[in-house]
Amino acid sequence: MYATAFAYEWANKDSDDDKYYDEAYASQYQSSLPISKGVVLNKNGTFTTYFDFNWPMDKDRVASSGTVSPKAGNPGRQTVVSFEIYEALAKLVAEGSKSGTQYSFSGDPSMTEVDVINPKCVADIKAKLQDFVAAKYVPDAIKQWITPEQAVARYNAALAFIDKYGHAYISNGPFFISKVDYNANYIELSAFRDYPYKADYFPKLFATTLTRIDDVKVPATVQKTSDAKIDIAVSALTYPEDTAKAADNKAKVTVTMILADNTEKVYTAKFVSAGNFQAVIPAKDLSGLKSGAYTLVVQSVFGTEAPSVQPAALVLF
């Protein structure tokens, strides 16, 4: 909830002197925020989200685009910090720092971009956290979910982390940065042994078998009076073991021919033998076409997973 509020706060300019607005930040989020129409917090701890999205599309992939995230910034990268660090950074940008450094969320050369590892910025983050403790401060966006005492406990935990490890990159996941040499551009990772999942949890959760198109053989030239036979080699790739074997007849392989008017004709390839499939474009479909090059799109899939796709060309005489 904090991260959601953060994005709306910093991407929308409420007035000409709005200190909680960053143009560079807004440019990254303004296009995506209108997609969201609202979030409902359910009593069982789940979320229901309402959002616009392109259709038709696989419903599971559409749903993933509307998930609630604890990530308040840095779109496109898998980085996230805890709310107290985000809030300290926000206050540095909006209200100034103990050191007098003028911070920004962007790489504006006239200001200093916030940095959770740079020692100077970390010192200013620490000073903000100390101010939060003294004031028993709770961000407005999450006052209904956290008490001043709970917030202070988090601030103190963050301060202890900074004192021990020398940085403010307090994140999630099975590893944390246990040592930083900012001048040498070096960090050391340590395993977080109190992580709630065992090492094999996610490999088992995401275990799947994907298809992989290894080869597509299209005749060098095709006559309009003859069938065009396209041979396709397909493997079954097991993730995360990264092992492959010849695909069996459970694989669904298609060849889509893009016609001159941008319409499409789809042909299903038949299973020939382990790893080998053949699609046939009959002469009756070719006879009415103009001579020239046509684009083929070859796809293979077992079920609802992302398909393997490979383009090819067919030259018709």
What's the mean pLDDT in 31-37? 86
Domains of the chain: 2-191 (no CATH), 208-316 (2.60.40.10)
Task: Please report, rounded to a whole number, the percentage of residues in the chain having pLDDT higher than 70.
Answer: 97
What's the mean pLDDT in 14-43? 89
Closest CA to 308 of 225, 229, 223, 234: 234
Distance CA 82, CA 92 (A): 16
Q: Is the pLDDT of residue 46 over 80?
A: yes
Q: Is the pLDDT of residue 64 over 80?
A: no
What's the mean pLDDT in 260-277? 95
pLDDT in tens, 180-232: 998 898 999 999 888 888 888 988 998 999 999 999 999 998 999 999 999 99
Q: Return the structure tokens found at 268.
A: 């299903």
pLDDT in tens, 68-127: 888 888 777 778 999 999 999 999 999 999 999 999 988 778 889 999 999 999 999 999
Distance CA 153, CA 155 (A): 5
8 A C-beta contact, residue 259 and residue 266: no
Distance CA 285, CA 266 (A): 11
Residue 55: what pLDDT? 65
- Give me the residue label for tokens 């492959």: 244
Distance CA 113, CA 66 (A): 29
pLDDT in tens, 144-157: 999 999 999 999 99
Residue 56: what pLDDT? 61
Q: Is the pLDDT of residue 175 over 70?
A: yes
Residue 285: what pLDDT? 95
Q: Exposed/middle/buried for 155, CB within 10 Å: 0-12, 13-18, 19+?
A: buried
Phi-psi region of 96 (alpha: psi -120 to 50; beta: other; left: phi over 0): left
Closest CA to 86 of 141, 148, 27, 26: 141
Q: Is the pLDDT of residue 37 over 80?
A: yes
8 A C-beta contact, residue 307 and residue 299: yes
Q: Is the pLDDT of residue 58 over 70?
A: no
Of the CA atoms within 13 Å of residue 312, those in its CB half-sphere come to 24
8 A C-beta contact, residue 179 and residue 165: yes
Q: Is the pLDDT of residue 61 over 80?
A: no
Strands 252-258 and 243-246, by their bridges, are unpaired
pLDDT in tens, 277-294: 999 999 999 999 999 999
pLDDT band at 305 (very low <50, low <70, confident <90, very high): confident
If you average pLDDT over every residue of the chain, what do you get? 92
Query: Which stretch of 70-84, 238-252, 258-272 has the lowest confidence by average pLDDT?
Result: 70-84
Residue 57: what pLDDT? 61
pTM value > 0.75: no
8 A C-beta contact, residue 137 and residue 131: yes
8 A C-beta contact, residue 132 and residue 156: no
